[in-house]
Amino acid sequence: MNNRNLWLLTLSQVFGFSTATVNVFLTGIIGSQLVSIKTLATLPPALFIIGTATSTVFASYIMSKFGRKFGFISASIASSLSSLLAAYSISIESFVLFCISCLLMGVGLAFVHQYRFAASESVDKENIPKAVSILLLAGILSAFIGPNIANLSKDIIFDQLYVGSYLSLACLNILPAILLTFFKNIDKSEENKSFQGRSYKELISQPKFLQAVVASAFAFAIMAFLMTATPISMHINEKFSLGETKIVIQWHIVGMFLPSLITGRLVQKYGHSMIMYFGVIFFTICIFIGYLDQTFLNYLVGLIFLGVGWNFLFISGTSLLVITYRPEEKYKAQAFNDFTVFSTQAVAALSAGFFLNITSWQTINLMCLPFLAIIVLTTWRANRIKIAKNL
């Protein structure tokens, strides 16, 4: 195990992923203050995710040509500059410029999401679930560092609410560029190569590859759909305080990452599919709680289960994915997976504000059930075909 690379990536994840936690916490609220059309309030967080989705192939391509170290450091610098642009856009009350800055920060996050693949490449095959779990566990610190610093610094610029939040985020975003100067590319021979291997159609035709992509994509979609709508539902519609909303988002993110202490071991012991089934169960509990009364406790508990369900599905999906392709296909397969995952997430986030506006919090929870059924069916099919081949 290349411990140096893994721990450098883990520390970088703490600061790099703060971009996501701060934007989840603030962009919907800031959007609602900068635009009069309330259905557009979730456009900034949606564009943040769109930036990630549309840049996944670009991120993989850059790293296939120049190596992961170059890609990670460049993205860190770009994310810091994008945070400064967000601060400026808020100071001049420009909704359009704020949307552009969110889109650019999303581009930077596409590179941060590649940390998990770099971590899996730094360890032996049997340790991949643990490596991914360790990396994602760093998100707990992001859950507290990002929103807390954003909240504490929101008033540091007189009469410019939230400008200080993004100035602070710019400082956090530059730290991975410093840390990853000590990162070592695993295999120099992998650089300067175009996407190789089987066609996308051949990759998708593998039941296990499809299972991994579907589990990760719909896990992210459901999580983004409900998480993006939560600050609007709580703070704007139900009039909960910003502090109460922050607590719910923070504990949701804790739910996303704290189970990483054991998820990798559970995957090793019980297999990818079993952990995916449990992820679906946790999502179902979240939906049931969301269908009940909209109290602070229901938001809190429901969003925690939402996070745990995402954790089980995403870690099992990622660790399954990396054993379904050949070494020469890694950038191609990873790019396809992340494009699918974050495109699905972008659609979910973009539609969250619209559906919350025309329906209700209870209804948008129920809308997630068909996607859980697809995860179950895809997982069942992959295991059935595997069993049939073994007969």
Strand residues in 52-204 grouped as ranges (E): none
Q: Which of 20-29, 190-199, 249-258 has the lowest mean pLDDT?
A: 190-199
C-alpha 387/C-alpha 391 separation (Å) is: 6
* For residue 191, pLDDT beyond 90: no
Higher pLDDT, 197 or 367: 367
CA dihedral 361, 367, 369, 373 (to 10 degrees): -160
Mean pLDDT on 217-228 = 93
- The stretches of 258-368 forming alpha helices (DSSP H) are 260-270, 272-291, 296-321, 330-358, 361-366
What's the pLDDT score for residue 112? 95
Secondary structure of residue 154 in the 3-state scheme: coil
SS3 content of the chain, % helix, strand, coil (to 5): 85, 0, 15
Task: State the residue for tokens 């939230």.
Answer: 162
* For residue 24, pLDDT beyond 70: yes
Task: State the residue for tokens 């195990």.
Answer: 1
**DSSP string for 261-272:** HHHHHHHHHH-H
The tokens describing 199, both together, are: 């066609």
For residue range 104-138, what is the model confidence (pLDDT) as tens digits?
999 999 999 999 999 988 888 888 888 888 888 88
* For residue 209, pLDDT beyond 60: yes
What's the pLDDT score for residue 390? 47
What's the pLDDT score for residue 391? 39
Q: What domains, with CATH codes, occur in the chain?
A: 3-181+200-390 (1.20.1250.20)
Mean pLDDT on 265-290 = 95
For residue range 290-320, what is the model confidence (pLDDT) as tens digits?
988 889 999 999 999 999 999 999 999 999 9
| Residue 228 near residue 365, CB atoms below 8 Å | no
* For residue 286, pLDDT beyond 50: yes
| Residue 315 near residue 212, CB atoms below 8 Å | no
Higher pLDDT, 90 or 21: 90
For residue range 341-368, what is the model confidence (pLDDT) as tens digits?
988 988 888 788 889 989 999 999 999 9
The tokens describing 66, both together, are: 């120049």
pLDDT tier, 263 (very low <50, low <70, confident <90, very high otherwise): very high
pLDDT tier, 225 (very low <50, low <70, confident <90, very high otherwise): very high
The tokens describing 184, both together, are: 């070592």
How high does pLDDT run on average in the chain?
Answer: 89
Mean pLDDT on 188-214 = 78
Q: What percent of the chain has pLDDT over 70?
A: 95
User: H helices then E strands: how many in the chain?
Assistant: 18, 0
What's the pLDDT score for residue 327? 82
